Chains A and B, each alone.
Chain A
């Protein structure tokens, strides 16, 4: 039993933190977000490090590492609210790698892993993050998923409240693209864990910014963080953040090491991280008072990213319903009927 990262995993985390602290500062994020654009320079650096392919098999040009390493990167990118198509690219790759045919994998994974192309993953006929510039789009349907090239679908750019992802509405003719023949659910579970990790990063950042603020800001002659109405809110933020973090890395571990626990763990992670990130970012705004509601305080980027991330690939209630279903199946036949 060891819940800790390996030295190699800590090294990945350290490199990510160093790079992003320098390359995704609040000023740089604001600049890109206000221009409604990705930070292209940042994307090139992520590509140079081979990160889009971190969890893609070596035979398809990736690094062949696992969901834990991917989650570490997603957490740090969420922490810095990086304006980048990273999350959509790696989640599309996760579904193709898990559920795609050999031909589909050979066609799409090398480009996604090398960062030559970007991907997107979303619901058919819905808003899809990062679809605007994606070369390959995986659309989830009631009974599976299709993989489509950009020129097989109609993509209409749509602005969501979160400008760090270039969202679009995607519609595809019924006969376009190819169905993914494999285990789509397992692929989507892997993608879901990556989204949860992004949300964990968002929560952690919101908490860090709040702690810094409430230690500095004085009212009634004391730092406002000394008031229990504020400090207990911060304690709750920590509980939400650490709870979703533990659940997310458990799920990432299950994806790599014990697939029998994957479905349950992925839904646990997403249920916890979605609600956690919404609550924590909302609390962060509240704890900052009026300043927190201003554009320049930069908390709103976190709040908006949390809102979008929390509905991607199912929100808390969707995943709680699935947890109940899984629990019921496990307790069967006692609960059958």
Chain B
């Protein structure tokens, strides 16, 4: 065991810290309004790309830095520590890019990867549907071949940043007669066409991070099939497997920052001598630290054995629960002050409700742990 960074990892961190110190002002706050805030994050990604920091985990041949998984974790930790936002094209960098690297042909890689890095082309993910959420293979959106094009009709939902996106990772049913998982195909859909309608979904915070996507005879050239017709489930798994790594390190640092701020606020209000408050701080602190340690142990598993251990499923579950407890605790510390509409604490409280749902509900994560880690039998449900 050696829980210190190697010389190379420390050098990576120091170089990044120096770059962030020169290129990011920690007091910056996003501008008001969705479009302005998104443009601001897009600018931030452009600066990251110019500095060679946009795709740290991408191989060098695709314009990345070729970082190890530990260095990639350091990248996300340092970004959070500097209080910088995630780059605008986070779905492109973390999901679309790596999926194209695995399944794309040479032309697709040349065409799509460079603008993902620079943020010139934003990506969204069209997987979930109104009747296919956790059971995503039940999706109904149809794609029918018409000459050298596919004609797509259906509806997607929870499509984050679709209103800013040029491209969509779209999974649609191309063979309605095949078994559920077999008749799917993964497409690269151009969002800028009449057959694609984006309707923002206003969430409980009042903002609209995600959308409904209505597809009415949207057209996709055959060249935009990724990974072969009928192979969509496998390609989609590549995307989903990428989803749960990396971000954990950004989030665990954010969790600690929020907790530190709360402790300072509780101290200002003279609440730290309250045994109940102190105990809850200790509990949240222990959870946040456990999250960090599980995430680190997961890195070792990936580096040594090529795949995450049970940690991968445990960290997202633990983080989302911790963040909900933390934001609820803030209301206990601050009282009504925390519930002023538009305040940071009120926003964080409401936004945290989504954490146990987005990117795999806690219930689905527990199923994954039970079935894939613990080897428990799966209850057969009616098809």
Contact = CB atoms under 8 A, between A and B. Distances in A.
Given A1-B300, A228-B379, A231-B370, A324 B1 contact: no
Interface stretch (A11-19, A81-89, A152-160, A235-243): A235-243
A5 B1 contact: yes
A242 B314 contact: yes
A249 B1 contact: yes
B376 A4 contact: no
Interface stretch (A139-147, A179-187, A299-307, A328-336): A328-336
B247 interface: no
B294 A1 contact: no
A268 interface: yes
Interface of B: 1-6, 9, 70, 260, 263-264, 266-267, 272, 275, 278-279, 281-283, 285-286, 289-290, 293-294, 296-297, 299-301, 303-304, 310-311, 314, 317-318, 363, 365-367, 369-371, 373-380
Contacts of A235: 365-366, 369-370, 373-374
Instruction: Decide if the interface of chain B is mainly helix, strand, loop or mixed.
Output: helix
Given A228-B379, A232-B366, A6 B1 contact: yes
A223 interface: yes
A68 interface: yes
Contact of A1 (B4, B311, B376): B4
A291 interface: no
B283 A226 contact: no
Contact of B267 (A231, A319, A323, A328): A328
Contact of B376 (A225, A250, A324): A225
Contact of B363 (A214, A232, A252, A271): A232
A268 B286 CA distance: 6
A250 B3 contact: yes
Contacts of B367: 228, 231-232
12 contacts: A1-B9, A2-B300, A3-B296, A231-B374, A271-B282, A272-B286, A320-B285, A321-B275, A323-B282, A324-B282, A327-B281, A335-B272
A1 B70 contact: yes
B310 A238 contact: yes
Given A2-B300, A268-B290, A331-B263, A214 B2 contact: no
Contact of A4 (B283, B290, B300): B300
B341 to A, nearest CB: 27
A227 B379 contact: yes
A257 B379 CA distance: 47
A252 B48 CA distance: 38
A272 B267 CA distance: 25
Contacts of A1: 2-6, 9, 70, 296, 299-300
Q: Which residue, B297, B304, B310, has most C-beta atoms of chain A within 10 A?
A: B297
Contacts of A3: 1, 3, 293, 296-297, 299-301
A222 interface: yes
Q: Which residue, B279, B289, B290, B311, has most C-beta atoms of chain A within 10 A?
A: B290
Q: Which residue, B293, B297, B367, B379, has most C-beta atoms of chain A within 10 A?
A: B293
Interface in A173-231: 211, 214-215, 222-223, 225-228, 231
A234 interface: yes
Q: Which residue, B294, B299, B304, B365, has most C-beta atoms of chain A within 10 A?
A: B294
Contact of A321 (B279, B293, B376): B279
A246 B70 CA distance: 17
A289 interface: no
Nearest to A261: B3
A247 B289 contact: yes
A253 interface: yes
A239 B285 contact: no
Contact of A2 (B1, B289, B370): B1
B293 A247 contact: yes
B377 A250 contact: no
A226 B293 contact: no
A320 B310 contact: no
B366 A226 contact: no
Contacts of A25: none
A228 to B, nearest CB: 7
Contacts of B363: 228, 232
A317 interface: yes
A36 to B, nearest CB: 35
Contacts of A4: 1, 300, 304
A337 interface: yes
A257 B5 CA distance: 13
A308 B174 CA distance: 61
A324 B260 CA distance: 11
A211 B263 contact: no
Nearest to A318: B282
Interface in A3-33: 3-6, 9
Contacts of A320: 278-279, 281-283, 285-286
A331 B376 contact: no
Contacts of B303: 2
A232 B381 CA distance: 17
Q: Which residue, B289, B314, B365, has most C-beta atoms of chain A within 10 A?
A: B289
A242 B311 CA distance: 8
Contacts of A231: 366-367, 370-371, 374, 376
Nearest to B9: A1
Contact of A271 (B70, B286, B311, B314): B286
Given A225-B377, A257-B3, 5 more contacts: A2-B1, A6-B1, A68-B1, A235-B369, A327-B260
A272 B290 contact: yes
Nearest to B318: A239
Interface string A250-293: 10111001100000000010011000000000000000000000
A106 B303 CA distance: 44
Contact of A335 (B264, B279, B375): B264
A318 to B, nearest CB: 10
Nearest to B377: A226
